[in-house]
Structure 1
């Protein structure tokens, strides 16, 4: 089990619970983000991690990082490599207009997918990504969307229970890449211990 006080000390958390931007930058870089991308993600994390309760539990940070690392290929991809045609006509994703599959393919470090998710999560963070889906691939905005998805789906509770399978199912809809997600979680726990 990761000790919250040790984690906060190691990350340089101040008395008001804020971690320095450079510490977040180093964390994202450690998981594969290129320097410029690590910097942008760090700015977003510095603002949003405390607001979403990510720093309330070390397991939350470890689980979040493990999932984001897997989904984004180590923060290399903020847009799904595939064309998105596999999502064409997927009413469960809100893709009801021809072309929606490609237009609303996975973006951001958690790979928000589908017109309905773009609408919902864009509204929740106050940015119209439904009409401007490419914005979801901006790392800082994509991370904010990922955190809103994390919150809305109750993933902090599953992280606190150390339930990687439950988190994976809610993010992926199944267990694709479970082995890598588990390996990333082990790495995150070791790094944050």
Structure 2
């Protein structure tokens, strides 16, 4: 991926070597507060190459568009708990692995992709070598949350859908439906203008 258009859009040095400075600026431009943007930018510089995100501009565009939507422009690393009627339905959901009383709230959405459910915390914790099931709050740490999001992206083969510019397909794999599709589309369109 040629990063110079992105770097120009962000007002950073045009060295075509996107790293912490470029990604911190990107998270800032997408709405993250400075401290959070810096943590996310460092994590992105470390992990985006490992997950092939920089091999095609559409991968970066779709990943960041989805994460921007899911996290409320990186304002929320943890789902705000009401509980709402939808949140009460997390309790007892076998498909999420929520088998113990209180699992719905304990394993609520966290991180920029809003991982949800005991089974997902267990699975992604094992994949990353972290005890997310025993320490679910770890998923709300921005750097860890970004790693979870990237692992989720990889497991669900979302690079291939991004390469096809399949916004609806990606949204369904992340959300289970098309909730927030218009905002996701707007985020992706904005990023296309910046990245190319």
* TM-score bracket for this pair, using the shorter chain length: over 0.9
Q: Secondary structure at the match of 2:75?
A: coil
Using structure 1 for the length normalisation, give the TM-score: 0.93
After superposition, residues 26-175 of structure 1 pair within 5 angstroms as 26-82=25-81, 83=83, 84-175=87-178
Task: Summarize deviations over 1:18-68 as a string: whole Å, max 9, x none.
Answer: x22111100000000000000000111011000000000000000000000
1:162 Cα offset (Å): 0.1
Aligned partners of 1:81 and 1:159: how far apart in 2?
29
State the alpha-carbon separation in 2 of the partners of residues 120 and 159 from structure 1: 24
Q: Aligned-residue CA RMSD in angstroms?
A: 1.2
- Paired positions, count: 185
Q: CA deviation at 1:9?
A: 6.4
Distance (whole Å) between structure 2 residues aligned to residue 54 and residue 171 of structure 1? 17
- Report if the CA contact (8 A) 1:13-1:20 is conserved: no
Distance in structure 1 (CA, Å) of the matches to 2:126 and 2:108: 18
Q: Distance in 2 between matches of 1:39 and 1:128?
A: 25
Runs of 4+ in 1 over 4 A off after TM superposition: none
Q: Does 2:187 correspond to 1:188?
A: no
